[in-house]
Amino acid sequence: MTLSAEWRCVASELAPGASAKFRLARGARAVDAFVVHVDGGYHAYVNCCPHVGTPLDLWPNEFFAEDGRTLVCATHGAIYEPDTGRCIGGPCVGDRLERLDVRREGDTIVVTWPG
């Protein structure tokens, strides 16, 4: 399977409050990533907690906390703002998830690695 430097999906397939998980390549490096649709915006991050380097989702594509408004690391409960990736609760307060670039091309969401 060849990994791509960008990931695309039709915007209508990612409902408000939903997330999608995917793999993204940058040169020889590949990472797991995810995008969330919150408050009318799309935000994408590398799926790696800055505290211990584990994926946020213990269960595939489960990134939202029970409140449906924040993201949570299933390993140790760190809470993140979905629009900024900033940790607002737990052992890594003040750290951030690694942000990916998100843009719209018509009805399509396009995610790429910055730089």
| pLDDT tens-digit series, residues 89-115 | 999 999 999 999 999 999 999 999 887
Mean pLDDT of 22-29: 87
The per-residue pLDDT for 2 is 65
User: Residues with Cβ < 8 Å from 63, sequence gap 6 or more?
Assistant: 19, 34, 36, 56, 57, 71, 72
Token pair of 95 as six digits: 């750290």
Whole-model pTM: value is 0.93
Residue recorded with tokens 């396009």: 110
The per-residue pLDDT for 1 is 54
Token pair of 78 as six digits: 């760190």
In whole angstroms, give the CA distance from residue 107 to residue 35.
16
The per-residue pLDDT of the chain, averaged, comes to 93
Task: Output the CATH code of domain 6-112.
Answer: 2.102.10.10
Residue 71 · residue 114 · CB < 8 Å: no
User: Residue 58: is its pLDDT beyond 90?
Assistant: no
